[in-house]
Structure 1
Amino acid sequence: MLATILPVRSLLAAIFMMMAGSGFLSTLIALRLERGGSSTMVIGLVATAYFGGLVIGALRAGAIVRRVGHIRAFATFVALLSVSTLTYALVQQPALWAALRLVDGVCVAGVFICIESWLNDRADSTTRGSVLASYMVALYSGQALGQLLLRSGNTAPQVPFELASILITLAIIPVCLTRTHAPVLEDAASLPLRRLFAASPLGVVGAGITGLMLGAFYGLAAIYAGRVGLDLKGTASFMTIVILGGVALQWPLGRLSDRFDRRLVIIGCFAATLLVSLALATAPGGILLFVLGAAFGGLAFALYPLCVAYVNDRLASHERVAASGQLVLLYSAGAALGPMGAATAMSQAGTGGLFGFIGLAAAGTLAFGLCRLAISAPVPAPEQQDFQILPRTTPVAALLDPAGPEPAPYDDTTGEPWTRT
């Protein structure tokens, strides 16, 4: 395992620092906007701008990487993200912050494209699973630990933005100093959405609705936590526990889906998410809130990779990478819609409207899944693919799947691809 990680340690360090700096900005910005008197709808709109930027970046940032190369593109995206982060500390104006969040989303997507294509290029069929696991650990641990920086704003309100900018800027160093050969980014394969839906209606709908639910959560969970009585420290802890809970349950639920009809596991997770969401919508606070938050993270975070795995069960092997890329975009589109839907629910139903909205989305998917269970046959157990935890970032992340295409082997002494003579 260590021998697998060492060649890509600079990339993993970069994504850890970038996520530690940027991963808590959604929480911080939502809290600052509410403190400044912005309505729930405005906060939802600002959150939507970020996820919209992720979609735009996932579709367009690759062209920049191809034009100037991975290192220059990475440095550009990170520098712009750092500048944007400092700008929040200078002026609080919701319209400007929405524009900055759009820029943030584009930049973060560009960083993901650079890192993920680079990791895929350095992996082969025997190491790709280990590289993917290491990448997920670096990404989620950075995001979880970054939430703790929320507490730094007790003394001076600009400090969290300054610390975030420092961490984001430091992410440039390991990439710019790496001796690892930068790959050539090729166009990601695509698969028509009609083909995906025909192959697996439940998987496609589940991926999109999961984006809707988690987009709503990331956009407005901090507002929910504050309104149920958590202080800044408690809000940071709540967000951290949800993320860590999401990491903890993905693998056990995935392995369970490898042994049984995967549809039953997906439907069960949506049903359990519905119940936990209803409990969170009415929870009075206290330790129960954190227990329910961990359960919500564990269930909701597992839904996307479960849906991807189920779609892959229904496709030919050469279609799977393209399908995973399309599902990432579908998830991101759902995430862009989630904050506004949740903001509307909170405006009408109060604090519990956030998880009421998430529960309603889970209930609709649960009903759809039960209908699919009644009218379609399961995938035979021998034909089910092994579950893989995949990041919900950009279509390039699909290439990290061990079922993905084999990259060109490298000469370890020169760092250059082998060429045939």
Structure 2
Amino acid sequence: MRQTLTRFTALFIGVALLLTGQGLQGILLPVRASLESFGPLYIGLIGGAYFLGFTLGCLKGGALVARVGHVRVFAAMTALASAIPLLHGLLVSPLIWIVLRAITGLCFAVLYIVIESWLNDVATNQNRGMVFSIYVMITMTVLALGQMMLLLYDPQQLFLFAIVAVLFSVAVIPVVMSTDPGPQKPHSTTVDLRRLYTISPAGTIACLCSGLTNGAFWALAPAFAVAVSTDLTLASWFMTANVLGGAAAQWPIGWFSDRVGRRPMLIWCALLAAASAGGLSLAGTGMTVPIIVLLGFAWGSAAFPLYAIAVANANDFAEPHEYVMVSSGLLLMYGLGAIVGPLLAAGLMELFGAGALFRHTMIVHLLVAGYIVFRATQRAAPGEAEHQEFAESMVAAGTLSQVYEEELQPGIADAREARQSRDDVRK
């Protein structure tokens, strides 16, 4: 294990620098847009553009990686991504920012493909879960750190945009200087959305709705925080609390879902997220900053794990050879929701004020809970022997690279063998 982690040292350092910049940029843009009076609709369009570019990167990035290799693509995408923050700071226009944000989304989709296929290639069956746990821990930690960096300087100046560019630029150094040869080149696989819905209607709808809510949150929550409080530091604390809530709850909720069932946990997560959102929708009525931050922690702890549980639920119903297609399709459903979500929420905020952001997420989460209850009356949940372990689903849910991998990841291949053995026993 130590030898494996040593091979990942350069990559993890690059990831930490890259995602620290991503965390800062993710909060800086909507805060600056609010201060520039762009309005919720334009801020929503900027947020939706990121996920549009991200989805395009998911669909097209594999061909680029296959053509020139992982290290060169990482260097190229990092170089392009590092130029974008400076352009944001120099060209303060909503239309220009929409285009720039879409380019950033495309860059990061391709970067995630490189990073996560690298992890999958080097990790073994025995340590893959630990490797990805460390990866998720680093991701959550540095995203939170980046969001807190908003407090370093005035967001209306170029300084913070330059810091983002510097972090992106230096992230490439440890990766290109590494002696590791890099992972195998990926191959494409086909996503069948009709088959996906047939396999798991509840999982498909839950992932789509997770995109509708989480996409709106990432695009508009900083603007919400600026609107409900005169204290600009609230945006940093609020976003950090949400991220930490999601990080803290991910594994406990997954553990319970392995034991009490996916559907009950999906329902409870959706209801808790809806209740937290109901409280946050009243934030502009004199609610104190600590209460807003605590509600944000609660919202993140319920809303962010919902996607991974939905992936696990879908894989419980899938055949082993369909695991990659299912996880890839659910990722695309999430991306589609994340494109539309900011636009819907922005329109509501334009009409009804900042609190409408969380009224939007509350309604969506209530619909998710209701739909899953309905599906439970239509088809029984699989038995415990049919469950894919949540740890395996975390690898699937968190890995963009598998959209392009024709062969199953070794860890998921083990799950296929285990399920086949169970089938043989039942026969």
**2:65–2:185: 8 Å Cα contact kept in structure 1?**
yes
- CA apart distance, 1:337: 0.8
**For the Cα contact (< 8 Å) 1:190–1:326, is it kept in 2?**
no
1:39: which partner in 2? 39
The C-alpha deviation readout for 1:6-44, integer Å capped at 9, x for no partner, is 221111111111010122323211111121121211111
CA contact (8 A) 1:256 1:265 kept: yes
Find the partner of 1:313 among 313, 316, 336: 316
Against the structure 1 CA distance between its residues 108 and 363, is the aligned structure 2 distance closer, same or farther, given a 3 Å change threshold? Answer: same
Residue 372 of structure 2 corresponds to 369
State the Cα distance separating 1:231 from its structure 2 match: 2.1
Counterpart amino acid of residue 396 in structure 1: S
In the aligned structure 1, how far is the partner of 2:60 from the partner of 2:342? Answer: 23
Residue 297 of structure 1 is aligned with which of 297, 300, 303? 300
**Bigger CA drift: 390-399 or 7-16?**
390-399
* 1:106-185 paired onto structure 2 within 5 Å: 106-154=106-154, 157-185=157-185
Matched-pair identity in %? 34
Match of 1:285 in 2: 288
**RMSD of Structure 2 on Structure 1 (CA):** 1.8
Matches for 1:181-200 after TM superposition, within 5 Å: 181-200=181-200
TM-score (norm 2): 0.91
SS in structure 2 at match of 1:133: helix
Structure holding more helix per residue: 2
Letter in 2 for 1:213: T
Greater shift after overlay, 81-90 or 243-252?
Answer: 81-90
Cα distance in structure 2, aligned partners of 1:181 and 1:405: 24
CA–CA distance in structure 2, aligned partners of residues 112 and 390 of structure 1: 13
Q: Distance in 2 between matches of 1:191 and 1:89?
A: 38
Counterpart mapping for 1:340-419 below 5 A: 340-388=343-391, 389-390=394-395, 395-396=400-401, 403-405=411-413
Q: Which structure 1 residue ranges, 5 or more long, are not aligned?
A: 407-421
Aligned AA for 2:412? Answer: G
- Deviation per CA, 1:242-264: give whole Å up to 9, x if none: 10110000100000000012111
Shift of 1:152: 2.2
Tell whether the 8 Å contact from 1:214 to 1:300 is kept in structure 2 after alignment. Answer: yes
CA distance in 1, matches of 2:367, 2:255: 25
Q: Distance in 1 between matches of 2:154 and 2:396?
A: 33
Three-state SS of the structure 2 residue aligned to 1:85 is helix
The one-letter code of the counterpart of 1:260 is V
- The residue type paired with residue 147 of structure 2 is Q
Quote the residue 2:417 is aligned against: none
> 1:303 and 1:327 mapped to 2: Cα distance?
12
Instruction: Give the count of matched residue pairs.
Output: 406
Match of 1:71? 71
Letter in 2 for 1:395: L
Indicate conservation of the 8 Å contact 1:14/1:171, yes or no: yes
What displacement does 1:290 show? 0.9
* Matching of residue 85 in structure 1 with residue 108 in structure 2: no
* Contact 2:45/2:98 (8 A) holds in 1: yes
State the Cα distance separating 1:154 from its structure 2 match: 2.4
1:28 matches 2:28: yes
Deviation at 1:402, TM superposition (A): 6.3
Question: In 2, are the aligned partners of 1:13 and 1:138 still within 8 Å (CA)?
Answer: no
SS at match of 1:126: coil
Whole-angstrom distance in 2 between the partners of 1:135 and 1:192: 29
Return closer, same or farther for 1:304/1:30 CA change in 2, 3 Å cut-off.
same
Distance across 2 between alignment mates of 1:188 and 1:204: 21
Give the SS at the match of 1:24: helix
State the match for 2:420 in structure 1: none
Q: 1:118 to 1:179 in 2, by over 3 A?
A: same
| Pair 1:353–1:401, CA change in 2 (3 A) | farther
1:31 touches 1:222 (CA, 8 Å); kept in 2? Answer: yes
